Amino acid sequence: MIIDAHRHYWDPSRLQYGWLAHAPATLQRAFLPPDMAATHDACILVQAAPDERETLFLFDLARQTDDVLGVVGWVDMEADDATQRIAALVEQGQGLLRGIRPMVQDIPDIEWLARPSLDRAFDCLRDHGLVFDALVDNRHLRALSHRLTRHPGLITVVDHAAKPNIADREFAEWASAIARVAQVPDVACKLSGLLTLTGTGADAAAIEPFVAHVFESFGGRRVMWGSDWPVLTTHASYEQWKALAQQLVRRFAPRHEAAVFGATAVATYSLNDCTTASGRTA
């Protein structure tokens, strides 16, 4: 079974997605399960709005869609009652909530992740067995490293390989910072979102050194594939990116295809019960 570890569904008629106002016009519409009817890969749905109501919306979609194995939602990590909010989402999800993703890349304070006021919320994620999805770029990796040292055992996934500046070939600083983060054993990385970082065209060759470094840093068992659909559609189709990713894994992490395209997501997001219940195997 292939698991897409990073898929979005959204509906701007129901909720506010502020970042969509600055996105390509092709993304400024609803993207929902019928749009992916031709694809039978299992997936994890990931939040796209800083709104707990969207997490509940994703729960509803997951209950209606056989291929959704779990949801990475959003909660106000700075709220005085953040721990209660997290507990409430766990209960409302009835097993669907697998992680929480604060939209760090959109927060003006690049040191936000290091704020001590967030300690209780991050401890709560760990205590509930939830994954912290880190939507960060190179500016945030130092603060991310500080955050991880405070919470041993917190399972963390770095989204989109921390969004390196591939278009301008800015490699060295990102490579050093992501390698430091990879030294923390409870951190995994998503092989996702890279084609959309290459500029106006989908430059497959441009992403190769970045992909190679991800595997060099994390190894083949701590990397999972994600589509970042529908953002991906500005540069490639779902099947085009999957085929390219399969080629890259065969090149840079041979014999780890099963891990990257399924087993790592199952282990990281604790999906064994989900795959068994759905009749799927990983």
Task: Report residue 201's pLDDT band, with 50, 70 and 90 as the boundaries.
Answer: confident
Angle between helices 119-127 and 141-150 (to 10 degrees): 60
Closest residue by Cα to residue 129 from 268, 4, 3, 225: 268
Q: 200 — phi, psi (to 5°)?
A: -75, -25
| pLDDT, position 199 | 85
User: What span, in angstroms and rounded, lies between the C-alpha atoms of 44 and 267?
Assistant: 13
* E-state strands within 76-226: 97-100, 131-134, 156-158, 187-191, 223-225
pLDDT digits (tens, 9 = 90+) for 246-263: 999 999 999 999 999 999
Closest residue by Cα to residue 53 from 105, 10, 23: 10
pTM of the full structure: 0.95
User: What span, in angstroms and rounded, lies between the C-alpha atoms of 246 and 85?
Assistant: 39
pLDDT digits (tens, 9 = 90+) for 112-157: 999 999 999 999 999 999 999 999 999 999 999 999 999 999 999 9
The CATH code for residues 3-277 is 3.20.20.140
Q: Using DSSP, state whether 8 is helix, strand or coil.
A: coil
Tokens of 270: 């604790």
| pLDDT, position 275 | 59
User: What span, in angstroms and rounded, lies between the C-alpha atoms of 199 and 196?
Assistant: 7
Our measurement of the distance from residue 22's CA atom to the centroid of its chain's CA atoms, rounded to an integer in Å, reads 21
pLDDT digits (tens, 9 = 90+) for 227-247: 999 999 999 999 999 999 999
Task: Report residue 282's pLDDT band, with 50, 70 and 90 as the boundaries.
Answer: very low
